[in-house]
Amino acid sequence: MSSAQQALRDHGADAAMVLVLAAIALEHDNDGKAQELAELAQRIGGAAGWCEIVLGRLALKRSDTVAARAAARAAAKAGVPWARLAGDLGVLFSRTGLHLEALPYLERAAEADPGDAQAAYNHAIALQFAGRLDAARARFEQAVAADPNHASAWLALVALAPDRHGDMLPVLSAAFAEKHISAEDRLVLGHALARILEDAGEWDKSLAILDDAKAPMREKVDHDRAQTEKLFAAAAACAAVKLPGGVEGDTAPIFVVGMPRTGTTLVERILSAHPDVRSAGELSDFAVLVKRSVRTPGKHVLDPETLFAARDADLGDIGPDYVARVRSIVGDTPHFIDKMPFNFFFAPLILRALPGARIVCLRRSAFDTLFSNYRQLFATAFTYYSYAYGFNDTAHFVAQFEKLIDRFESDFPADRFLTVRYEDIVGDFDNQARKLVHFAGLDWDPACAAFHENAAPVATASSLQVRSPIYKSSLKRWARYPEGAKRAIARFAEFGISEEADR
């Protein structure tokens, strides 16, 4: 950075050079300086597209997806002169939920340099979200050919190429055994190995690999159970505020919430297959607006302080602002879905701020939820998922969720808050799908039964599963782990959850 600063002093301000400094500041989390430099470059002019991309990345760090989308579209309109910059724009589009708009830019970057493993990986992820699975597999293959140590590409290939598991196992085992790999790579490789072992029926061995893989990150993150309990207590306190009765509001929003890996994407696909519904993806917009409204300190939009402050706050302006933000994505469709799972924390506030909104909350066997979350590799950058680095911490988090939703079920009106069990959807699909559609205020449409034919992008961990018809192989999956099941029974006993009562 010092050499670029010296060049600025010697030769004067050049937009490209200023943006180099801005990008360096951004990588070092000096967001204020990055913003200042990006705005300077914008005033200087001459760096078409690049400046908007930097500003878009800054907006994402503020969880301002509306500004980030606007920046991405402005960059596309201005044009991006280099393939690598096109790749950055594609990533920006993807991270704002505009996956189809991302594809041509990511393809351009991957085609320009076949040896760029990250460019190939980025394009492959977007292809997978779009349902182009054969093309995605080819790009992931390109990524590991270019960089045999690209752990994330290997993990993706494990899911897309089960026919290669025999070849992958020794390669990934050797990489996992390396002493000097980072905690992040060890985590990813461990998840890849665990998936292979599961498919081979080595259930407890796969769980042991996960324990081993997660240990360094667990020590690094040091999940705080006391803070977790404060967060759930704050959400419960918000539920204690009585909802206003007989108030009309915008009936367009449908929120699909619940613990991750419990069927939220399945419900989203069923509902969004309806011609009057469009999914906006997993949005942080409601949380951002609550945080801004109550003006609590801290960088996290979800924290106990914000929920407690919002409990008695006037939320009147949040609803219209939220709808306007989502409309910038979905247009004027009669209904839209926000499928951010952790919006369950905000359920009482959603019902107050959006009196016409409906919330569908997924519930699943606590035991299967424990294993599905522990088995899932969540984004390491999001501290909200820190519980998933520890088996016992995951059990604790799931137990807190179960207690909170029990309260919500008793406190909230049934025409606005509906809990649906994943097991019921799988076991009685037709009736449950019709129940969901009716709750959303819609007439039945046969497309909802053919949810697996829904062509819209899926940017979640379930992007492969929801492109298949209903299957029952995930029911009571936890019982396949002989020793793991004993661990789960022991942990849940501490929180009053038994196998017999788990329904």
pLDDT tens per residue across span 348-361:
999 999 999 999 99
Whole-angstrom Cα distance, residue 145 to residue 131?
Answer: 23
pLDDT for 351 equals 96
When pLDDT is averaged across residues 154-160 and rounded to a whole number, the result is: 95
pLDDT for 49 equals 87
* Banded pLDDT at 455 (limits 50, 70, 90): low
When pLDDT is averaged across residues 79-95 and rounded to a whole number, the result is: 93
Whole-angstrom Cα distance, residue 173 to residue 124?
Answer: 24
Q: Strand 277-279 to strand 358-363: parallel, antiparallel, or no bridges (unpaired)?
A: unpaired
* Banded pLDDT at 468 (limits 50, 70, 90): low
* 225-241+251-469+477-493 fold: Rossmann fold (3.40.50)
The single residue listed with the structure tokens 């980025």 is: 122
The whole-angstrom distance between residue 411's C-alpha and the CA centroid of its chain comes to: 28
pLDDT at 292 over 60: yes
When pLDDT is averaged across residues 84-111 and rounded to a whole number, the result is: 94
DSSP string, 189-207: HHHHHHHHHHHTT-HHHHH
pLDDT at 4 over 60: no
Whole-angstrom Cα distance, residue 278 to residue 326?
Answer: 11
Whole-angstrom Cα distance, residue 313 to residue 335?
Answer: 27
* Banded pLDDT at 144 (limits 50, 70, 90): very high
Q: Strand 253-258 to strand 358-363: parallel, antiparallel, or no bridges (unpaired)?
A: parallel
* Banded pLDDT at 3 (limits 50, 70, 90): very low
What value does the mean pLDDT of the chain take?
91
pLDDT for 464 equals 53
| pLDDT tens digits, 8-65 | 444 445 788 888 899 899 888 888 899 899 888 888 887 878 899 999 999 988 878 8
Give me 296's structure tokens. 């609590």
Whole-angstrom Cα distance, residue 353 to residue 204?
Answer: 46
pLDDT for 501 equals 64
Q: What are phi and psi of 392, to 5 degrees?
A: -70, -35
Whole-angstrom Cα distance, residue 432 to residue 430?
Answer: 6
When pLDDT is averaged across residues 225-245 and rounded to a whole number, the result is: 93
For the ranges 5-9, 110-114, 295-299, the maximum mean pLDDT occurs at: 110-114
pLDDT at 266 over 90: yes
The domain limits of the chain are 148-222, 225-241+251-469+477-493
Whole-angstrom Cα distance, residue 401 to residue 344?
Answer: 9
pLDDT at 329 over 90: no
pLDDT for 5 equals 47
DSSP string, 371-422: HHHHS----TT-GGGGGGG-HHHHHHHHHHHHHHHHHHHHHS-TTTEEEEEH
* Banded pLDDT at 6 (limits 50, 70, 90): very low
